[in-house]
Amino acid sequence: MRVAAIQTTSVPDCERNLSEAGGLVREAAEAGAELVVLPEYFSVAGNPTFLRRHAERLDGPTITWASELARECAIHLVAGSVPERTDGTDGPEGRLFNTSCLIEPGGTVTAVYRKVHLFDVGLEGLSFRESDTVAPGDRVCVAPLGAMTGPGRPDSPVLGLSICYDLRFPEPYRIMALLGATVMAVPAAFTAATGPHHWELLLRARAVENQVYVIGAGQVGDLPPGMPPGHGHSMIVDPWGTVVAERIDPSPGVVLADLDAVEQHRIRSELPVLAHRRAEAYRWPDDNSGGTIGSNG
């Protein structure tokens, strides 16, 4: 299966963002990609006021555009993420959701994931509180991609959905792997402040520990006011932790790679990490314990 990560630089003009993203998606499809992943906030990015002004329901113009594009190109399309307005309100406690949708080649939305982990940080030179605008989702999301075309495919791929800051939390990725995910999508706007140190490291870690392919699609460069600059370096990592494709150039573009289900099966068979789990030995600490650790005997 050939997949693509799309790298963009969002501007305050939503129509321009969709036009440029659409061109890159078509380029990926023409190169043979069957699954294409757009970045976080590919259609609209900016400060809280701007996001609220341009937030939509999932039957609104942006996801409709993405559905038509998936149908036109006959691809599975991960509509990176959009600011989602829910029924009658701006979401719980007056907030939006940061939402990613998987759209199948016929144009139907087959999975919806709302970002669980929100980027509230106070680093030197970087202060950001996503939770002021966005409410957290409350569940992981995996979705089968269905039978893909072509010979020699022993299993249908299963996609796990995540968004940006989720990448720092291994728990949902392990759960998605146990639910059958073989590929993970990570639409992101990873910052230029943290990206050089952590982006590749975390993508490779999630790939190795779960023996999955990971597709990281990022924003790059200066983004609209209210958003930190994007690190870019969109890449695709294999289950052995090797970066098989990456966009080094700090500009919008397409990253392509072929995923090998047979090789993934070999890795999982010869180094059966998931099968070697000892779930009966794992105990979650009590979050209200204040860090107290008990002893046995």
The pLDDT value given to residue 128: 87
Angstrom distance (rounded) from CA 138 to CA 116 = 6
**Among 223, 213, 212, residue whose Cα is nearest residue 188:** 223
Beta bridge mates, 76:
35
Cβ–Cβ under 8 Å, residues 140 and 179: yes
What's the length of the chain? 297
Beta bridge mates, 219:
8
The pLDDT value given to residue 288: 64
The pLDDT value given to residue 88: 52
**Among 167, 8, 4, 180, residue whose Cα is nearest residue 78:** 4
Alpha helices in 149-255 (DSSP H): 170-178, 195-210
| Catalytic center residues | 40, 115, 164
Place of tokens 């409709």: 64
**Among 43, 57, 32, 35, residue whose Cα is nearest residue 219:** 43
The pLDDT value given to residue 91: 55
Mean pLDDT by 10 residues, the chain (297 residues): 98 97 98 98 94 94 98 98 80 83 98 97 86 94 78 74 98 98 98 96 98 98 95 98 98 98 96 95 76 47
Angstrom distance (rounded) from CA 100 to CA 161 = 8
* Structure tokens that stand for 62 in this block: 């942006």
Angstrom distance (rounded) from CA 52 to CA 74 = 32
CA Rg value for the chain:
19
Q: What is the CATH number of domain 2-281?
A: 3.60.110.10
Angstrom distance (rounded) from CA 32 to CA 12 = 31
The pLDDT value given to residue 123: 85
